[in-house]
Structures are given as C-alpha cells and as structure tokens.
Amino acid sequence: MYETELAIVGAGPAGLSAAIEARKAGVEVLLIDENSRPGGQLFKQIHKFFGSRDHKAGIRGMNIASTLLEESEELGIETWLKGEVCGIEEGRNLWVVRDRKCSELVKAKKIILATGATENAVAFKGWELPGVMGAGAAQTMINVNRVLPGKKVVMLGSGNVGVIVAYQLLQAGAEVVAILEAAPKLGGYGVHTAKVARAGVPLYVSHTIKTAFGKDHVEAVEIVELDSSFKQIPGTERILEVDTVCLATGLTPLTELAWLAGCKFNYVHALGGHLPIHDDKMRSTQPDIFLAGDISGIEEASTAMEEGRLAGINVATELGYISEEEARARSNEIWDSLNSLRSGYFGERRRTSKDSMLQKGKEVIKWNH
C-alpha cells in the first residue's frame, strides 16, 4: 500500500498542471498515467498550438508537454508510468495495476481525476474492415510510431481533430482524398481547414460515408450527400478509392472512475455528453474528488491546464497549504483567463454550458458553500 496526500489520475496537460500547482504549494503528490510517457494527448500533437501566449500558444504540443514534464521533474513529483487505475473505493482509495504485472492500493486524502477523453466511432456498412480507424489512432501511428496507416485516406469529420490529423497525414506523406462533414458547415477552425484546402484537399459539407468496400482491407468507400435533416439523398452516391478511413467524429469524456466513485452526473451535449458535476473549485459531488481537463468537458489543452491549476490550488487549500484568501485571488485570475478562452464563435457555447454546469454544481455540492 502506498499513502499520499494527493493522487492524480492522468498525466496530460490537466494532470501535470494540477500536480505542479499542488506540489509547489507543498502537497505530497503522486501522479499516475497508464502510458509509458506522460503528456497525454500532447505527445501526439506535432502542430503549433492555439491559445494565448500565456498558455504556450504557438509552441508545438509535444514541446508543451516537455516543458510541463521538466517542471514536474524539477519539483520531484512522484510519477508512476504504466500505471493503470482500475478501481476506486470509499471515495479515495485507488486500485492501480502497475506495469501490467502487480496491483497496488493507493490511499490518498484527495484525488484529482484528469483522465481525458476517448474517440467516438460511427457505424456504416463495412466499418469493421481493417483500414477503418479513429483519427487519433492514425495520429499515434504517424507521429509516435512513424508508420503510415495508408496511402490514400478519407477523413470523416471536419472538427479540429479531423482537419489537424488530415494535415499531419499530408505531412507524413499520405494523400488525403477528401474530408467529409455531415453538417452543412465545416466544424474546425478556419485557419486549420484553410491549411488542408490550399494543399488541394477537397472538403465536402453535408456528406457522409455510406459503405466501405474491400476484400480483407478497405479498397474504396461510397460517399453520399445529406439533406438538411441529415437524410441520405438517393442518387448522390459517389465512389472514392481509398485504403484508409479515419473517423474524427467527436470525443467522449473518460468518466468510468468518476462513475465508480459515485460522482453525480449531468448531461451536457456541447461538452461531450455525461459529465461528472463539478463546481468552480473543480470539485465533484464526492468531497475528496476533484476533476480537471477533458473529463469535465471536451475542450482544449489551454483550458485543461487552467482547470488543472484550479484543482491543484483548491486541493492545496483544503489540505492547509494555501490560505483561503490567496486561493481566492489566484482562482479569480484563472477564471478570468478561462472566461476569456471560452468566448467568440467557438467558445461561447462552451462557456454557457460550463456556466450551467457550475450552477448545477453550486446546487448539488452543498458543503462547499
């Protein structure tokens, strides 16, 4: 058994930022991640990041991870890699499988869940053929393992993940035959779609995949146009010759541990589905469990880092390392930054959704107010 003041599950931008803030305040921290390197999503992101310069924008994602990592190493944060958290009991004991060999119980006073998200799949005829994969999987193949999943790719989904992975597939030497979007408008940031558009990739709105063909591997797909109520329009089918189909059809927060811990949930469509309820301190409905990053709503690395800092600061306050006053002042600053990140055409909906979540948190999490 291992005892610690704070255990953090997930060493992505949220978990790392939380660990750094808490450790800086003096908290004893254990950071656990199932991968062999920390950084979460960031390690696959070879593109320069968005966000404000205060959140390391303009720097490639993988380098943001390295900076956070260095800081966490300088602070001497205890980190368990290849540590899979498989269970949680009595609100704060974690069951961890280490190195796929042995299991260990971690007893913590406080827990921060920063487990991130997982890719959604969509089903169509032939979707089980080899060659159909998540965009994130393709991204891991090209950027981490340096293997091209195929030569001719069709991307389903035009959100930022779809267009960024399409761009990286071009960089890796593949041909992107088309990007399809079921909605009548493209989803991702215009500057990202413009990158692939000027590389000659056609982007088709109101289109989806009807069928994937192939004997033992994808050889072609039949695409079809959709009407305004997303119904297929007969007679608009076309064949695209491809050997790879990438699905970039959204992310869902990885919330299993929060369910297990008995956290209460709320459905918020704009943030990715069923989410553990939390308040403005990032506390869940379980008093000792805090949340940060994509698990509390699918957003971005910049917001994940800020939420991580909030969780870290508030845990440190409850453990008596930071005064209430200081915590309030620093939290206010972070909230200003979060509100500014959650604005504009893309952010406004996230902001109103987050606000309703916080309102819910305020109602449900009584001991906090």
Partner 1 sequence: MESLKTTGAPSLKELHNSPGFPTEEDIHKGPIAIIECIEEIPCNPCEASCPQGAIKIGKQITNLPKMDFEKCIACGMCIAACPGLAIYIKDYNYSENMVLLSFPYEYYPLPEVGTRVEAVTRHGKYVCEAKVIRVRNPKSNDRTAIITIEYPKEYFEEVVNIKRITVS
Alpha helix segments (H runs only) across 113-159? 135-139
- 62 in contact with partner 1 (CB under 8 A): no
| Selected binder of partner 1 within 5, 28, 57, 222 (CB under 8 A) | 57
Nearer to ligand FAD, 226 or 358 (CB): 358
- 192 in contact with partner 1 (CB under 8 A): yes
Which residues have CB under 8 Å from 124's CB, separation 6+? 208, 209, 210, 211, 212
Nearer to ligand FAD, 288 or 299 (CB): 299
- 197 in contact with partner 1 (CB under 8 A): yes
- 146 in contact with partner 1 (CB under 8 A): no
Closest CA to 312 of 29, 54, 34, 2: 29
**Two tokens at 197?**
């558009």
| Selected binder of partner 1 within 23, 44, 110, 195 (CB under 8 A) | 195
Sole window of 22-30, 98-106, 192-200, 251-259 interacting with partner 1 (rule: CB under 8 A): 192-200
Do the beta carbons of residue 116 and residue 43 sit within 8 Å? no
- 240 in contact with partner 1 (CB under 8 A): no
β-sheet with 132-134: strand ranges across:
132-134, 244-247, 152-156, 175-180, 203-204
The owner of tokens 């900076």 is: 67
Query: By CB under 6 A, what part of segment 251-290 binds ligand FAD?
Result: 254, 257
Do the beta carbons of residue 186 and residue 205 sit within 8 Å? yes
- 196 in contact with partner 1 (CB under 8 A): yes
The owner of tokens 């915590």 is: 327
The owner of tokens 């091209």 is: 148
The entry of partner 1, ligand FAD, none that residue 84 binds, CB within 5 to 8 Å by partner kind: ligand FAD
The CA distance from 310 to 324, in Å, is 13
Q: Which helix (H) or strand (E) holds 195?
A: helix 190-198
Q: How many residues line the site for partner 1 (CB under 8 A)?
A: 46
The entry of partner 1, ligand FAD, none that residue 230 binds, CB within 5 to 8 Å by partner kind: none
Contacts to ligand FAD by CB under 6 A = 9-15, 32-35, 40-42, 45, 49-51, 84-85, 114-117, 136, 139, 160-161, 164-165, 254, 257, 293-294, 299-302, 304
Applying CB under 8 A, which residues contact partner 1? 47-53, 57-60, 63, 158, 163, 170-171, 173, 179, 184-186, 189-201, 203, 205, 300, 302, 340-347
